[in-house]
Every structure is written in C-alpha cells, then in structure tokens.
Chains A and B, each alone.
Chain A
Amino acid sequence: MAKKETGLPEANSVITRWMPEPAIRLDGVEKYFPPTPSGWRALLQPFLKPTQRALAGVSFEVARGEAVALVGSNGAGKSTLLRVLATLLLPTRGRAKVGGFDVERDAARARQQFGYHTGGDEGFYGRLTARDNLAFFAAMNNITGPLARERIAQVAEWMGLGSDLGRPVRTLSTGMTHRLNLARALLHSPGILLLDEPTRSLDVLAARDFRRLLKDSLVKRHGTTLLFASHTLTEIEQIADRVVLLEKGHLVACDSVRGLIAATGTATLEAAIAKRIGARKHGLVGEDPLP
C-alpha cells in the first residue's frame, strides 16, 4: 500500500518491518571531543585525546513507528547524538544501531535506513534550482529517472515547494530552503527520520502543516520512526510518543509526556522539564567522572 502511495521501493520499510531489533538502539553511548587549541597548536588538534564530554553513557531504544523527542538545554548533546546516529560522528564508547545496523561497523547499511535533516537552511548548491538539487541528492540515494521525478514532485507537494522547484536555491527564503532540506531527508522514503529542530525556520502555518505530515502521514500511516530534537513544547506534545531528556550529555529522563509530568508532580511539560533539569543542575542526580 505504501508503495502505491509513495511510488518508492519498499526495500527500506521491509527491512525495518521485519527486523527483530528496535529501529534505534543506543547502548551506553559516550562521545568525547578533543580540546580545541589555538595558534600553532591547532595543528595538533586532530591527534589530541578526546577529553571533553558531550554524551555520557546514553542508552535508550526507539521502537519502529515510534516518535521520540530529544529535549534539553543548549549543549545538552541532542545534535551530537543525532550526528552519531547519522554516522557523521563516531561514538567514543558504547554502541549505536539504526535499523539494526551498527553506525560504526556497518555505516553504509545504516545510512540506507534513515533520512537526516541537518537542522539548518544550508547544504545546497545555490546556483542550481531546488529541483536540480533534489534530483542530485536523489541520485546519490540511488533514485533516478521517472521514479526520481515522481518522488521529487511528491515531497515538494508535501513541503509546499511545488511552485518554487524551478527557482535557484540562492533566491529562496530561509524558510523555503529549510523546507527543501526536509524534502531532501524524505526523498528516499527512509524508514527512520532523524531531524534536528525540524521546524526551526518555518512560519507558524508551515510548521503546523509539517507536524501534521510527520505525525499523521509518516508516523501513523507509513510507520516511519521519528527521532527529533526540538525546543518547541507544542511540537513535542503534538508529535512525540516519548521524550528523551538530556542534560550535559546525561540521559535525565525517558518517558511519555504524561508520564514525565506525572513523575515530576507538575502540571505542564515545561514545568516537568525544568524540574528534571533543575534537579540535574543542582547535583541531585549523580555526576559521572571524566575518564
């Protein structure tokens, strides 16, 4: 049924449908970065020992067809975690799997499973049209010819890009480029979507429409798994089945919105997050030592 609607091969979704593992699994993932020296010492940076912690033993799972929000202060480790899952960063310790494939040992197959939204309005060839950009990235994901044209038309319609597909990207507004970025993540009908602040630059109506697309069409109808970082509480409440709360690289909570509110004895998600992060900041949750 999904094939008829999307016109895309079912390979990815078949893999995720029958796999015994969760769509995303993290087992004690730690990520440390080396310090960033200045002056001539900057030349040594690629060889320095990673000592600055970004993720501290994060473990959780995301089931197939589940929507999970990554929430936390700036610098909590949300983007780092998404970049580890997207195979752009290697975990220092621990294991991460996407669609059953280890992001470090089987990165090529892991990449077939997900679409990644880089969280900004960049990453395109400004002189090429939006259509040419999408066609290029479709080709990079093995989608060419009539199938690519059909798929581009479809994601463009979803993202409200139809009339702008023929314009050079450099003439598009920030919001439109952001939509194009999201369209690119959806091009190859991934079974798993990793989105970093997906509605950051969208106007109110476009953000609302995109949330509906995510929840109603992709997650509910197609069983797409969603892991997204967000600072927008309404977005989290509307889309997320569960919330993963990070603070300074630590997993502070992993629960449904209602569960989080109930567990903290608060009335709103905002208050629940504040209480959990406040507890962490004031040392009520144990701090892991640096290695």
Chain B
Amino acid sequence: MSLAKTLRKIAAFFWRDFAIARGYRGALILETLEALFGVATFFYLSRFVESPEIQRALPAGTDYFAFALVGFAFFDYLSVALSAFDASIDEARQNRTLEALLVTQTPLPVILAGSAVYPFTVMALRTCVYLAWGALFFGFAPRAANWSGAFAVMAASVLSFAGLGILSASYSVLFKRGNPAKWVVLGVSGLVAGLMYPVSVLPPWLQFVARLIPVTYSLQGMRAALLAGARWGEIWPSVGALLLFAAVLLPISFGVFAWALRRTRVTGTLTHI
C-alpha cells in the first residue's frame, strides 16, 4: 500500500474520531477546566512542600511547581498512550465495528495507528493546556524553553509509548477485560520515573529500574527542554533512549498483537465482549 493511501486512511480515522468528539463539546470544556483544577492543586501543594532540601534535589533553575507540572502533564500522556489502543479496540468491539474494519482493505497496523492518532493529538493538546494554565495563573514561565527539543522528546515519547500501548491492546484482544500489564507499567512508572520527585532521591536499585522505563527519559528530556532550556546535545541522550525503546518495543508489540489477533481467529472470540 502506498504512503499516500496510508496517510489518507489515517486522516479518515482522525476525522472519524474528531467528528464523534464534536458531539461531546460539553465534555471537552469540562476536561479543560479539570486540567485547571489539577494545575491549581499542584501549585498549592508545591507552595506547601517548598523547602531548601527539595530545591537542592531539583535540577538547577527549577522550582518544584514547574517540576511537578511537567511530570504531571507528561505522565498523563503516558496513561492515555497506554489506553489509546486497547480503548479503541474495546470500543470497536462494543459498537461492533471491529469486524467491519477487519474485512476492509486496510491492514491491521494502519487500523491501529489510525485509531491512535486522535487520542494522541488530543493528549498533546491537553498537555499544552496544562502548561498554559500554569503559565497564565501560577507563574510557570518556560522562557528559556527549547521548543524544538521538547517537540523531539514528545515525538520520540509517542513512538515508545505506542509500543507499550499496542502490547496492552494485545492483552485486551485476548482476555477482553482487565489489564494488569497496563496498571503495572503505570504503577511502576509513577513510582520510579520521577513524576513528583527527582529519580536521584530513590534508592540505587529503584534508580536502576527507572532506567528501564521509557517515561523516565521522556520526563527527563522534557524537563531539560522546557525548564532548563537545554541544548540539543543535552537532550539527545533522552531522545536516543526513547527511540531505542521504540525500535525494540514497536516490532515486538506488532508481532504480539498479530499473534493475539490470530489466536482470536482460531478461537472465534474476536468480537466477544
């Protein structure tokens, strides 16, 4: 299939999801306000916990609010990335569109990629909303930010998170309900990846675990780009690690997903809810 055809199909998925979401404008407004409440909570929490000890543990030139805001915004991104694929599969199963899609002339990887484009785009916008609320009302000021570096970290994060998301969708295809793998990834990442505190405050063995998780590099690179205005040379190790995760996780996840789908074609449980 040509690239042009693939892009047209991915665009069709995006417009499908956009058209559906347009029907829920109220939810969109509420989510934007919810982000404001989240940011406000972090702001007052950061004022409460601000201390010389914490300040010393943070990267240079960073206050705790900015540190936690970036962590909070991008951890949310990971949780959506992990859910995007299995949510789209689950929804397609619920509204019975999965079979209709699978008998079209669209290969499975394109169906998966297309289903994730809209949630990833919305989540990127939501992340911007978090940061914008912080900048508008709570003094978050990424004046020295390296925006192109932040974009590169974001793009590399999308690829590596997508691998985890597709693995999670494979579980959903096989077992339908519950997804322990997703919650393990989210739980471990929340603990060790440096969401609310720097990885450096963890015991060495947990710091080692943190190095095995893509979100650690995502948060590290994003904070460096947004808060410290790091140059490309400083951001590149994080981007490189994320691309390495993507290079390993994406082929494995596509293989596992194809195997899971094949099993459902053997068992006849593809559309079971």
Binding site for B on A (CB under 8 A): 33-34, 43, 45-48, 50, 80, 83, 86-90, 92, 108, 111-112, 114, 116, 118, 120, 122-128, 132, 135-137, 139-142, 144, 184, 188
**A126 contacts B266, CB within 8 Å?**
no
**Interface residue from A43, A92, A140 paired with B175 (Cβ < 8 Å):** A43
Asked whether A141 and B105 contact (CB < 8 A) given A45-B267, A46-B263, the answer is yes
21 A–B contacts from the bound complex (CB under 8 Å): A33-B268, A46-B175, A86-B103, A87-B103, A88-B103, A89-B266, A108-B105, A118-B100, A123-B95, A123-B100, A124-B97, A125-B20, A125-B97, A127-B19, A128-B16, A132-B16, A139-B8, A140-B104, A141-B105, A141-B106, A142-B5
Chain A residues whose C-beta falls within 8 Å of the C-beta of B269 in the assembled complex = 45-46
Closest Cβ of chain B to A129, distance in Å, is 9
Closest Cβ of chain B to A229, distance in Å, is 15
**B268 contacts A89, CB within 8 Å?**
yes
**Interface residue from A112, A123, A125 paired with B105 (Cβ < 8 Å):** A112
**Interface residue from B12, B16, B19, B102 paired with A87 (Cβ < 8 Å):** B102
Closest Cβ of chain A to B102, distance in Å, is 6
How far is it, in angstroms, between the C-alpha of A175 and the C-alpha of B267 when the chains are bound?
Answer: 31
- Residue B126 lies at the interface, judged by CB distance under 8 Å to chain A: no
Give B51-106 interface residues, CB cut-off 8 Å to A: 95-97, 99-106
In the complex, which residue of chain B has the Cβ closest to the Cβ of A132?
B19
- Residue B107 lies at the interface, judged by CB distance under 8 Å to chain A: yes
Chain B residues whose C-beta falls within 8 Å of the C-beta of A124 in the assembled complex = 95, 97, 100
In the complex, which residue of chain A has the Cβ closest to the Cβ of B262?
A90
Chain A residues whose C-beta falls within 8 Å of the C-beta of B102 in the assembled complex = 87-88
In the complex, which residue of chain B has the Cβ closest to the Cβ of A138?
B12
Asked whether A88 and B95 contact (CB < 8 A) given A123-B100, A128-B16, A132-B19, the answer is no
Chain A residues whose C-beta falls within 8 Å of the C-beta of B104 in the assembled complex = 111, 137, 140-141
Closest Cβ of chain B to A136, distance in Å, is 5
Given contacts A80-B268, A86-B103, A112-B105, 6 further A-B contacts (CB under 8 A): A83-B268, A118-B96, A118-B99, A123-B95, A124-B100, A142-B105
In the complex, which residue of chain B has the Cβ closest to the Cβ of A109?
B105
Chain B residues whose C-beta falls within 8 Å of the C-beta of A112 in the assembled complex = 105
**B266 contacts A90, CB within 8 Å?**
yes
Say what secondary structure dominates the interface of chain B: helix
Closest Cβ of chain A to B259, distance in Å, is 10
How far is it, in angstroms, between the C-alpha of A144 and the C-alpha of B5 when the chains are bound?
Answer: 10
**B105 contacts A111, CB within 8 Å?**
yes
**Interface residue from A90, A122, A137, A184 paired with B265 (Cβ < 8 Å):** A90
- Residue B203 lies at the interface, judged by CB distance under 8 Å to chain A: no
**A137 contacts B100, CB within 8 Å?**
yes
- Residue B9 lies at the interface, judged by CB distance under 8 Å to chain A: yes
Closest 10 CB pairs of A and B: A122-B96, A140-B104, A139-B12, A123-B100, A123-B96, A127-B23, A90-B265, A140-B106, A116-B103, A46-B174
**B263 contacts A140, CB within 8 Å?**
no
**A50 contacts B266, CB within 8 Å?**
yes
Closest Cβ of chain B to A95, distance in Å, is 15
How far is it, in angstroms, between the C-alpha of A92 and the C-alpha of B264 when the chains are bound?
Answer: 13
Closest Cβ of chain A to B70, distance in Å, is 35
**B5 contacts A88, CB within 8 Å?**
no
In the complex, which residue of chain B has the Cβ closest to the Cβ of A194?
B103
Asked whether A34 and B99 contact (CB < 8 A) given A90-B262, A136-B12, A140-B12, the answer is no
Give B149-181 interface residues, CB cut-off 8 Å to A: 174-175
How far is it, in angstroms, between the C-alpha of A152 and the C-alpha of B159 when the chains are bound?
Answer: 36
How far is it, in angstroms, between the C-alpha of A140 and the C-alpha of B266 when the chains are bound?
Answer: 25
Chain B residues whose C-beta falls within 8 Å of the C-beta of A86 in the assembled complex = 103
How far is it, in angstroms, between the C-alpha of A140 and the C-alpha of B15 when the chains are bound?
Answer: 13
Give B222-273 interface residues, CB cut-off 8 Å to A: 260, 262-270
**Interface residue from A45, A132, A137, A144 paired with B8 (Cβ < 8 Å):** A144
Chain B residues whose C-beta falls within 8 Å of the C-beta of A141 in the assembled complex = 104-106
Give B5-27 interface residues, CB cut-off 8 Å to A: 5, 8-9, 12, 15-16, 19-20, 23
In the complex, which residue of chain A has the Cβ closest to the Cβ of B272?
A36
How far is it, in angstroms, between the C-alpha of A48 and the C-alpha of B263 when the chains are bound?
Answer: 10
How far is it, in angstroms, between the C-alpha of A46 and the C-alpha of B176 when the chains are bound?
Answer: 11
**B95 contacts A140, CB within 8 Å?**
no
In the complex, which residue of chain A has the Cβ closest to the Cβ of B21?
A127
How far is it, in angstroms, between the C-alpha of A184 and the C-alpha of B34 when the chains are bound?
Answer: 40
**A108 contacts B23, CB within 8 Å?**
no
How far is it, in angstroms, between the C-alpha of A90 and the C-alpha of B16 when the chains are bound?
Answer: 30
